Amino acid sequence: MELARVPVHNGLMTPDRTQSVPRRILLGVTGGIAAYKAAELVRCLREQGAEVQVVMTEAAQQFVTALTFQALSGRPVRTDLWDSSAEAAMGHIELARWAQLVLVAPASADFLARLAGGRADDLLATLVLATAAPVWVAPAMNRLMWANAATVANIATLTTRGIRVLGPASGEQACGEIGFGRMLEAQELADAVFATELEGPLRGMHVVISAGPTREPLDPVRFISNRSSGKMGYALAEAARDAGARVTLVSGPVALATPSGVARIDVETAAQMYQAVHATVGAADIYIGAAAVADYAPAACATQKIKKHGDIMDLSLHKAPDILASVAALSPRPFTVGFAAETCEIEKHAREKLIRKKLDLIAANEVGVERAFDRDENALLVLWSGGQRELALKSKSDLAREFVLLLAERYMLSRAQRVVEPLAS
Ligand code: C5P
């Protein structure tokens, strides 16, 4: 089959290099003249495709306004643990979970002391205690404050707790003195962020995901399609990327932005999706067929708009290629995962598909006008040979993260079995 020419979009300039770098950065700004450099830092981080949420301490707002950071980061700045409207939008625990890296720049002597003391007396200090993400600090202060035994002891405490200290550099200080205490330059800090590899259960793997609906043209203005929004497939792409994978998304027509760091190939028809998947899946470790692919397509596409005639019109449809089954039939093949949208007897139909299409894993969900399609929430029943697990109703992005953890677990087990089986035979 001749390969269709399909456009490729990259969320980042260099997707291979930056697949598992931190992408959601919580930037803490504390009180010091170097706060102005943090404004430049936001720009450097965003330039590389990162999302930046700025959290300022009260003292930081004496140096730079929250409005500056809001304009540069494109997000409202968080300053207060007790701001009920901000908390309603994203509570501080959610914010702590959202972050893939917490970077405090500049970190004042006072903030380092509060951190070393384990305090939770403002929003930023609380977030540092509540996050599972790596915490980095870029100190900035007068050279004598930096050299003071109290600061030295605090830095030692923070380092032993796994907090990474970047800088400070030596040079001329705002107070006119010369010595150690200058915050590293914005670009140096941004370079350090993007030189970091996140740990993740899919680290180093290539995952190909198909998402969204397909459109099967009847004539130049009409097509047959379905209600799929692509939200689940896109959430899976983000979750796989965050788990460390290099992700290629083969997407039907959807109204969703390309997740940063993900390579996207746009297609319309099932035949184009088949071609694009097979062009990329050869070297992939995992294929996830999350697209709602047409089962049947018009036998022919009329070259001119079909005219109205008579009361009944018959359409002749031909079977579309089954992409998922064709990937599962490859040898060698990637770990092959299907999605099953069912309107009844979910488990029975999904297990039948798991066996018939020779899949490693299938995730089934109930669909209907009020369920799953174009919704922000979903629930899944995940089945494999000899087991199953229910993933309860939650946002598609949380569900995708949970699903990717399960996928990584099943993938590792299947690869371990491949090694053991030849030894046993
Ligand atoms: O058999 P059914 O279409 O319900 O199976 C759904 C699964 O098969 C999904 O993972 C979907 O992406 C995939 N599929 C496919 N090619 C088709 C039809 C479905 O890859 N033509």
320 CA distance to ligand 1 middle (Å): 10
Domain spans, the chain: 24-194, 206-298+315-424
64-67's contacts with Cβ under 8 Å and 24+ in sequence apart are: 64/29, 64/35, 64/36, 64/38, 64/39
CA of 5 to the centre of ligand 1 (A): 23
Q: How many residues does the chain have?
A: 425
**Could you read off the pLDDT of 354-394 as tens digits, one per residue?**
999 999 999 999 876 566 566 788 899 999 999 999 999 99
* Amino acid at position 102, single letter: V
Token pair recorded at residue 188? 């140096």
| pLDDT value for 2 | 38
What CATH class is the domain 206-298+315-424?
alpha beta
Whether residue 235 is predicted with pLDDT greater than 60 in this model: the reply is yes
Can you tell me the distance from the alpha carbon of 101 to that of 422, in angstroms, rounded to the nearest whole number? 42
Q: How far is CA 162 from the centre of its chain?
A: 25
HSE-CB at 225 with a 13 A cutoff on CA atoms is 19
Intrachain domains 24-194 and 206-298+315-424 with the same fold: yes
CA angle 61, 66, 70 (to 5 degrees): 160
Q: Which tokens in the block code for residue 357? A: 């299409």
pLDDT in tens, 297-336: 999 999 999 999 899 999 999 999 999 999 999 999 999 9
Q: How do beta strands 263-266 and 335-342 pair?
A: unpaired
Task: State the distance from the centre of ligand 1 to the C-alpha of 265, rounded, in angstroms.
Answer: 18
Which carries the bigger pLDDT value, residue 46 or residue 18? 46
Which DSSP state fits 357? Answer: T
Give helix 123-130 / helix 109-116 axis angle, nearest 10°: 40
Report residue 191 as tokens: 């370079």
Is the Cβ atom of 288 under 6 angstroms away from ligand 1?
A: no
What CATH code would you report for 24-194? 3.40.50.1950
Q: Which two tokens stand for residue 409?
A: 């677990």
Instruction: Enter the tokens of residue 278.
Output: 């097979």
Q: Are 1 and 29 a contacting pair, CB within 8 Å?
A: no
Ligand 1 atom 13, closest CA: 324
The better pLDDT of the pair 22, 250 is held by: 250
Alpha-helix runs per DSSP H in 30-83 = 35-47, 66-73
- Per-residue DSSP letters for 67-117? HHHHHHHSSPPB--TT-HHHHHHS-HHHHHHH-SEEEEEEE-HHHHHHHHT
| Position 213 confidence tier, pLDDT thresholds 50, 70, 90 | very high
Nearest atom of ligand 1 to the alpha carbon of 320: 21
Residue 425 pLDDT greater than 90, yes or no: no
Active-site annotation holds for 301: no
